[in-house]
Structure 1
C-alpha cells in the first residue's frame, strides 16, 4: 500500500485494519510523518511537531494490537491538535509571537481525552494569531495554504487542521469555532467539520463561558467525525457549561426518506457567489434523490444579523485581546491588533444589542426547525479569499458588491449566535479555481444525531471524498 493510500485512509478503516493486523500504527505513523515533511513547504499546516514521541507511541499501540490487549477508541491514530489548547510540558503558541515561548503546565480536557483514547499527537496545527481571523497566517508561523490551490486560504481559524487533513498529514484533527472557525476551513479544504451545541464538548476558561465558542472534531469522513466527537464530548469537572449526561452518537443511521429539509441560499442577507450557489443546488438534489422533500424558506433575518454577530465578537473576544495592546501591541499581527482596538471601543450597550438580535433570530428559526428535520445553507459565500488576505486592510467583493472583509464572505457566524444548534459542514463540490465548497446542515437545538444522519446519507451518495487520486489534491 502506498504512502498516499495510508495517509488518506479513513480513521475507522485504519482502526479496523489495526485490529485484524493488516496494518500497523507504526506503518501509518511513518507514512504520515513522511507526508508531513513533504507538505511542509507547499501547505505549512503544522507548527510544533512531536515525531519521535509519536513513533514511540505508535510502537506501543502496535504492541497492544499484537497482544490482543484492550485498545482505546483512537488507538494508534495520528491526531493533529490545534495550536490553541494545551498539553502539559508542550509548547502552545496561539499563533502569536507573544506566546512563542509558552510551555503549558496543564492539559486541556479534550486533549487529555484524545490521548487517553490512544490518539497520538504527532503535531500541532496552525492558527491565525489568537484564532481571530477567517484565514490562517501569522508573523510567527507564516502563511498556511489551501492544499487544493495554494494561492488561496485554507480558512481559519482551524485552518491548519483542515489543511492537514486535506493534504494527508493527520488522520483526525481538532478545531474550535467562535465565528465559523471549524466550518470555514472545513468547507475550503473539502473536509468535514462539526460545531456541536454549546456545552456538548469541554473548553478552557474563560471562553468556555462564551456561548459563541465551541470545540469540535474535524475529519475527512462523517463517520470519522463522529468517532472523534464521541471521544471529545461529555461533562467535565473543569467546565461548568458542559452537559450531562454524555451523548454518544451512533456510527450508523437509518435513511432520511420522508424527511423535510428547509434551505436558505443567503440566510436573508448574504451575497453568494454563483459557483457556491450551483454546488449548493446540486447538493440539495442529492437530498431529494434520497427521498427527502426540500423547500426554500424565508428565515426573516436581515443583514444586521452579521453586524450583530461581529459586534458580539468584538466586545467579548476583542475586549479580551485589548488588554495586550499596551505591552505587546508591537508584536501583534495587523488583524489581531485591529480586532483588539475595536474591542477596546465596544460598550456594554453594544453587547446587549447583540443579544436582542440573537433573541429575534431564534423567534423565527425555532418554529421553522419544528416543521423541518434540518436546515441547509452554504458554509461560505465565496469559495475562498487569497492565502495572505488581511481582514483589517483588504476588501472582499461578491457579485460586484463589497462585503464585510472579516466574515462577510462566510455564512457561519449566525449559527454561533444560534449556539445550541448543532451544525455539520460537509463538502458540496469544487469551484473552477479548484477550491472546495461546502454546505452547513443545521439541526434543532441539541439534536446532534439529526445532522449526522443527514450528513451520512449525503456522503453515502457522494462517495468517499478522498477515496482515490482523482478526489485528492494533486500536490
Structure 2
C-alpha cells in the first residue's frame, strides 16, 4: 500500500513545518475531519505504520461525522463506539510495537446480517427488533482477527428482500449524493455509510445484486465473489454470498483477502485465494459488451455512460465487441423467486406470513408468496433447469467464443426513489413502463449464475449527481480476470471521493 500523491505532498509539507517548529512529527491536525473520514485504508495504513496518524483519530472523526449527518442519510442501526474506541486504542499500540494485522485500525461498517456476540440483528424487521445474537458469525470473527474496528451496523431492507433500503423498523435510508434517491439494497446501509464517510470499508452480501447495486448507487467498488469463495452459512443457497464494499479498488482487494477462505464447521467454502493488488495490462483482452441483454430498457444517461465506459476500456487496449443476447426478465424473475422461496430461504418467510400486516409491503409480498402451498419441489427443479439453460446460452455467446470477460451496466437508471416499492407496478422510465422489479434486472442474472465473479466499478455521475456503475463479469471462478480489468479501470475511473467530487447531500 502507498500514499496517494495528494496526501504525500500534504504530509511532507506538514512534516517539514513540524520540524521547523521543533515538533516531533506530523499529527492528525494535518488533516481535516472530512479528509480522515474519506481516506482509504490504502492511504491510512502507511500513516498508521509511520505513526503519523492514529486509528483513534480516524474513529473520532467518523463518530463526529455520524453525529453531524447521520440522520440525513439514516444508514446506521446500532453504534458500538465504546468497544470500537477500545479496539482503536489496541490498534494504536500494535502499530507502535510493530505488529499490526491486515486491517489493523481500519473501521468497517457491518451489514445488519453479520454480527458479533451480543449484537442485535434485526434483518430490517420489527419481528426481529430484539433478536440478540449469542455468538459471533465467521465474517465478524475474521474481521476482528484482522484488527478491524467494528463501530457501526448498517441498515437493510426487511429480510433483505429489496433493491432499495427502507423498512417500518428503521425508516428510509437516503443517498448522500442526492437524498431524494436510493442507496440500493440489500446492503444499502453499508453503501450509504461509505458514501457519507462514516466508515472506511464495509461488508455486504449479495442475493440479487445486494453488493453491486449499493456500490453502483453510491459510486463504489464492490465484489460479488463466486459461490464458495467467501464463507456462506447458506450452504444450499448457491445464489447468495458475502462480499467487500469500498471506495477504492485496493481497499476492495484488501477486504476480500480477509474475508476469503474456509472456517472449520462450514463445508461450503473454498480454500483461501489471495487476490493481488497489481495486474498486467488489459491490452489485447477480449471483452463482450452485453448491454442490457434485453432485460430492461436503459435510461439515456446510463446508455450514454456505458458507451463512454466502452471507449475507456478500448483506450486501455482492450477489444470490446457487442454481443446480442436476449433474456426475458419476467421469466427470469419468476424462475428466480420460485427457486429462492422453494428452498431454505423461503421457510422462515413462510412461517412469518401470518404476521404480514406487521411487515413492510414488499416483505409481506414475498412472505405471502413463500407461504403459497403450491410452492415446492417443482419450482426448485424448474429453477435448476433454468440455471443450466441460461449458463449454456451465455457460455455459447461469450466464453466459448474466446472472450475473457463481459461487461454490462449495473443499473437501468440511478434515479430510483429512496422508498421505491418493488412489489407495486407503476414506474415509468422515459416513456417505458418498467417491470415492478426492474431495479434488480441487471444484477440478478449473475446470482442465477453465482459461480461467475462480478466486480462493480464506478463510471461517473448523472445529471442529478447520482453515481452510475458497470459490472465486470468473468467465467466461473475466474476471479483474477475481473480483478485485472477492475485494476486497469483505475486509470480511467471518475475519481469520486477525491477533491471536489464528494457527496453534497443535496435533495432535488
Name the TM-score class by shorter chain. over 0.9
Preserved CA contact (<8 Å) 1:396 1:409: no
Structure 2 portions without partners, runs of 5+: 1-30
- Residue 59 of structure 1 corresponds to 89
Deviation at 1:394, TM superposition (A): 4.8
Distance 1:333 1:399 in 2: 28
Deviates more, 1:314-323 or 1:330-339: 314-323
Query: What does 1:223-238 correspond to in 2, within 5 Å?
Result: 223-238=250-265
What's the TM-score, normalizing by structure 1? 0.96
Distance 1:166 1:455 in 2: 20
Distance 1:175 1:195 in 2: 9
- Tell me, yes or no, if structure 1 residue 34 matches structure 2 residue 38: no
Deviation at 1:90, TM superposition (A): 1.6
- Residue 321 of structure 1 corresponds to 349
Number of equivalent positions: 469
Distance 1:417 1:105 in 2: 33
After superposition, the C-alpha distances for 1:258-309 in whole angstroms (9 at most, x for unaligned) are 1111011111332111111111111111100001110001235334233322
Query: What does 1:205-284 correspond to in 2, within 5 Å?
Result: 207-243=234-270, 245-284=271-310
Structure 1 portions without partners, runs of 5+: none
- Tell me, yes or no, if structure 1 residue 405 matches structure 2 residue 436: yes
Partner residue of 1:114 out of 122, 139, 143: 143
Preserved CA contact (<8 Å) 2:56 2:92: yes
For the pair shown, the structure with the greater C-alpha radius of gyration is 2
**What secondary structure is seen at the aligned counterpart in 2 of 1:153?**
coil
- Tell me, yes or no, if structure 1 residue 295 matches structure 2 residue 321: yes
- Residue 378 of structure 1 corresponds to 409
Preserved CA contact (<8 Å) 2:37 2:199: yes
- Residue 443 of structure 1 corresponds to 474
Partner residue of 2:336 out of 289, 309, 317: 309
Partner residue of 1:137 out of 135, 150, 166: 166
**What secondary structure is seen at the aligned counterpart in 1 of 2:371?**
helix
Deviation at 1:23, TM superposition (A): 1.2
Deviation at 1:460, TM superposition (A): 2.0
Distance 2:494 2:501 in 1: 10
Deviation at 1:451, TM superposition (A): 0.8
After superposition, the C-alpha distances for 1:418-441 in whole angstroms (9 at most, x for unaligned) are 110000011111221211110000
Distance 2:190 2:412 in 1: 21
Deviates more, 1:24-33 or 1:34-43: 34-43
Partner residue of 2:80 out of 11, 28, 50: 50
Deviation at 1:450, TM superposition (A): 1.0
Partner residue of 1:82 out of 96, 108, 111: 111
Deviation at 1:356, TM superposition (A): 1.7
**What secondary structure is seen at the aligned counterpart in 2 of 1:209?**
coil
Distance 1:145 1:217 in 2: 21
- Residue 179 of structure 1 corresponds to 208
Distance 2:34 2:165 in 1: 25
Preserved CA contact (<8 Å) 1:47 1:124: yes
Deviation at 1:85, TM superposition (A): 2.0
- Residue 466 of structure 1 corresponds to 497
